[in-house]
Amino acid sequence: MREYSIGLDLGGTNLRAARFSPEDGLGEARTVATRVNMGPDAVMEDILELVGQVRAEAGPHQRLRGVCLAAPGPLELPVGRFHQPPNLAGWHGFAMRDVLQPRLDVPLYLENDANAAALAEYHLGAGREAKPRIFCMLTLGTGVGNGLVMEGRIFDGVRGLAGEAGHITVDPAGALCGCGNVGCLETLASATSVVVRAERLLTEGRAPRLRTLVENRGLSAALVSKAAEEGDADARELFAETGRALGMAMAAIVNILDPEMIAVAGGMSAAWPLFSPSMLEELRRRSYVFRLAEDATAFERPCRVLRAELGADAGLLGAGLLVFLER
């Protein structure tokens, strides 16, 4: 009998579910709005409802192997307890496994969403051919997500809290971050941070090309990137600053882990030509390990930094895939 899994991606805005099998890949995703303010119990009902729908669609001739839910952190594993999650306000202390597992007749897997996305990228995206022994992914979106895959398995840390490179300090005098620290990578490399800094430029009467573009349109990271591509010097410098922040954080990652591959994902990764030159320059300048490790003539497995290949479905895909990798 053919087997499939159900992957779910719980975000602060949307809750998505899809079936997955190694043969057929990811099925069409079902999406509902996440009723964050209704509280976790209501959303757990929505999760069970979606599982029921996907299961009905698959029919009785295929066996459901398990369900995996990817959720934003900080998420304690394996119990799935939230610890002051910034994107799920009021959910502190709620443990998902206690509610969900008794109502499922198949194994339930819980994972941090950035880790699930990294797992998918490792197996099906940028890591597909090289199968890098130590793989790190940074996802530049609303925040900066981070996932680690070591020797083919997600590295969760002792409590499930590993992989928070988005909160490495890159500017001790920087802006306040949602985590309570100042100058985190997230305050300079998330799409949100691009918009915040661009607003400041506009208030100061700078970024003339951006000012023209933004008329009658909402300010977005994509628009700032367009202004930079069209030669706006202030917008270009904004992305160069993002690159330097990324390079600084990556230097810390490389110095500690000596990884084989670092992939950059998320909507912001589309601006790769704008931030990657300063990112790589900063990384080389600050990490002698990287300067050594990137030399392909010296090492069979040199360290590579590149763009991720999978898009917004990476988390969902990783959740579906994880069920087939666990024993």
User: Which residues contribute to the site for Zn ion (CB under 5 A)?
Assistant: 167, 177, 179, 181, 184
- State in angstroms the smallest separation of the CB of 142 from Zn ion: 13
Q: How far apart are CA 245 and CA 278, in angstroms?
A: 9
- State in angstroms the smallest separation of the CB of 187 from Zn ion: 7
- State in angstroms the smallest separation of the CB of 183 from Zn ion: 8
Question: 162, 165, 30, 145: which is closest to 86 by C-alpha?
Answer: 145
- State in angstroms the smallest separation of the CB of 188 from Zn ion: 11
DSSP result, 83-104: SS-TTSTT-TT-BHHHHHGGG-
Give how far Cα 126 sits from Cα of 106, 260, 292, 314, Å. Answer: 31, 12, 22, 12
Give how far Cα 146 sits from Cα of 39, 165, 166, 186, 224, Å. Answer: 26, 6, 7, 11, 24
- State in angstroms the smallest separation of the CB of 164 from Zn ion: 8
Which residue, 184 or 268, has its beta carbon nearer to Zn ion?
184
- State in angstroms the smallest separation of the CB of 123 from Zn ion: 29
Which residue, 121 or 186, has its beta carbon nearer to Zn ion?
186
- State in angstroms the smallest separation of the CB of 186 from Zn ion: 5
- Greatest distance between any 2 Cα atoms in the chain: 65
- State in angstroms the smallest separation of the CB of 184 from Zn ion: 3
Q: How far apart are CA 96 and CA 100, in angstroms?
A: 6
What are the start-end ranges of the H helices in the chain? Answer: 40-58, 96-100, 113-124, 186-189, 191-203, 208-214, 221-229, 233-257, 272-286, 288-293, 314-325
Which residue, 181 or 220, has its beta carbon nearer to Zn ion?
181
Which residue, 43 or 194, has its beta carbon nearer to Zn ion?
194
Q: How far apart are CA 85 and CA 40, in angstroms?
A: 12
Which residue, 84 or 181, has its beta carbon nearer to Zn ion?
181
Q: Which two tokens stand for residue 127?
A: 């890591």
Rounded to 10 deg, the angle between the 272-286 and 233-257 helix axes is 40
Residue recorded with tokens 């940074």:
138
Which residue, 184 or 249, has its beta carbon nearer to Zn ion?
184
Q: How far apart are CA 229 and CA 272, in angstroms?
A: 11
| Amino acid (1-letter code) at residue 271 | A
Which residue, 39 or 180, has its beta carbon nearer to Zn ion?
180
Give how far Cα 208 sits from Cα of 178, 192, 241, 271, Å. Answer: 30, 21, 19, 19
Which residue, 167 or 236, has its beta carbon nearer to Zn ion?
167
What are the start-end ranges of the H helices in 125-207? Answer: 186-189, 191-203
Which residue, 68 or 194, has its beta carbon nearer to Zn ion?
194
- State in angstroms the smallest separation of the CB of 112 from Zn ion: 16
